[in-house]
Amino acid sequence: MDILAVVVPCYNEEEMLPITFESLRGKLNELIEKGKIAPESFVLYVDDGSKDKTWELIEKEHETHKDVYGLKLAGNVGHQFALTAGLHKAKDICDISISIDADLQDDIDVFEDMIDKYHDGCDIVYGVRNKRKTDSFFKRFTAQSFYKVMNFCGAKTIYNHADFRLMSKRALEQFANYSEENLFLRGIVPLIGYKTECSYYDRKVRVAGESKYPLKKMIALAIEGITSFSVKPIRFIMTLGFISVILSFAAFVYALVSFIIGTVEPGWTSLIVSIWFLGGVQLISIGLIGEYIGKIYIEVKRRPRYNIDKFIS
């Protein structure tokens, strides 16, 4: 039977953790009783350099319960890296992993559905929110815009999916090959490429503690996502340059006509044409340099170039 590792990043979650311990334990026991997962399954709590009693709570829980594992990071590295640390750790000691936030806003009742889909041959199962009615209008709006902008800029992400997902052991192993520094999980996981499926659920409100993702961090995450995934913004500069050069011809015709009609100050014609034309040439040049930087950027990531699903001989 498969050992399940639930990976939970925690940052200053002392108010939430006692509830989380209880809920996740109940869920694991239920799944073990149903024979869906091995009795050795566990929950791995990753303490992301919390300043409150988070780690003490994890340690204490570990003493009394063998299904509670803890990983303490030396400092606060942020949700994405904390989760990555947990997944890397879990890779060698589990068969399936499910990552979920400590606040349990994502529905733990879909674990079962995810595991069933895994048994049906999926290596990655995304938890996808049905609606966002519990979030404030502002949060909903910013989050929706986030996905739209991200996809427009070339980072393919699953709509309404946060970091609540099941990954099989081999998906985790492949994930570990992505050694890039700027890590955006939601963009990388779809690149792994194995068979995937979605499990749908309603997102709940946070019951204790407060959101650690204020607008500032959300914007930072969006910028991180876009810039670590695509060179589209660079291409945009080039496009802008070409548009300017084309406009410079229009400006040329306009300036020439004005000159012939004689309604202009001396010197204006040559100035206006030069501004448009040179502006365009400069933008194209910057875009061209950017193209090369983009290449270097893709190159230094050293991403795995392929991932083998099956081999028969």
Residues that bind ligand UDP (CB under 6 A): 9-11, 13, 48, 76, 78-79, 82, 101-103, 105, 211-213
Query: Closest distance between Mg ion and the C-beta of residue 164, in Å?
Result: 10
Partner in contact with 168, chosen from Mg ion, ligand UDP, none, beta carbon below 5 to 8 Å by kind: none
- Rounded to whole angstroms, how far apart are CA atoms 188 and 155? 9
- Which of Mg ion, ligand UDP, none sits in contact with 47, Cβ below 5 to 8 A by type? none
Q: Report phi then psi at 131, rounded to 5.
A: -135, 175
* Bridge partner list, 166: 98, 125
Q: What is the DSSP string of 147-206?
A: HHHHHHTT----TTEEEEEEEEHHHHHHHTT---SS--HHHHHHHH-S-EEEEEE-----
The distance of closest approach from Cβ of residue 30 to ligand UDP in the complex, given in angstroms and rounded to an integer, is 22
Residues 82-121 that bind Mg ion (CB under 5 A): 101, 103, 105
Interface with Mg ion includes 13 (CB under 5 A)? no
# residues near Mg ion by CB under 5 A: 3
Which residue in this structure is represented by tokens 């108010």? Answer: 15
The closest residue (CB) to Mg ion is: 103
Q: 17 in helix, strand or coil?
A: helix
Cβ-based nearer residue to Mg ion, 11 or 276: 11
Question: Which tokens belong to 69?
Answer: 């594992």
Q: Which of 203, 178, 202 is nearest to 192 (CA)?
A: 178
Instruction: Name which of 13 and 224 has its Cβ closer to ligand UDP.
Output: 13
Instruction: Write down the least CB distance from residue 71 to ligand UDP, Å.
Output: 11
Q: How far is the CB of 48 from ligand UDP (least distance, A)?
A: 4
Q: How far is CA 82 from the centre of its chain?
A: 13
Q: Quick check: 82 and 9 in contact, CB under 8 A?
A: yes
Residue with Cβ nearer ligand UDP (10 or 171):
10
> Within 10 A of 124 (CB to CB), how many other CB atoms are there?
24
Binding partner of 82, given ligand UDP, Mg ion, none, CB within 5-8 angstroms per partner class: ligand UDP
- Measured CA to CA, the distance from residue 89 to residue 185 in angstroms comes to 16
Q: Would you call 2 helix, strand, or coil by DSSP?
A: coil
Q: Return the number of the residue (117 or 203) whose C-beta is nearest ligand UDP.
A: 203
**Smaller CB distance to ligand UDP: residue 23 or 270?**
23
Q: Which does 13 bind (CB under 5 to 8 A by kind): ligand UDP, Mg ion, none?
A: ligand UDP
Q: Which listed option, Mg ion, ligand UDP, none, makes contact with residue 102 (CB within 5 to 8 Å by class)?
A: ligand UDP
Pull the structure tokens for residue 246: 């084309």
Residue with tokens 């895994």: 118
Q: Which is nearer to Mg ion, 101 or 197 (CB)?
A: 101
226-252 burial code (b ≥16 CB/10 A, e <16): bbbbbbeebeebbebbeebbeebeebb
The residue among 13 and 95 lying less far from ligand UDP, judged by its C-beta, is 13
Q: Smallest distance, Å, CB 310 to Mg ion?
A: 37
Residue 129's binding partner among Mg ion, ligand UDP, none (Cβ under 5 to 8 angstroms by kind) is: none
DSSP conformation letters of 88-142: HHHHTT-SEEEE--TT--S-GGGHHHHHHHHHTT-SEEEEEES--TTS-HHHHHH
Minimal distance, residue 162 CB to Mg ion, in Å: 8
Nearer to ligand UDP, 134 or 258 (CB): 134
Q: Footprint of Mg ion on this chain (CB under 5 A)? A: 101, 103, 105
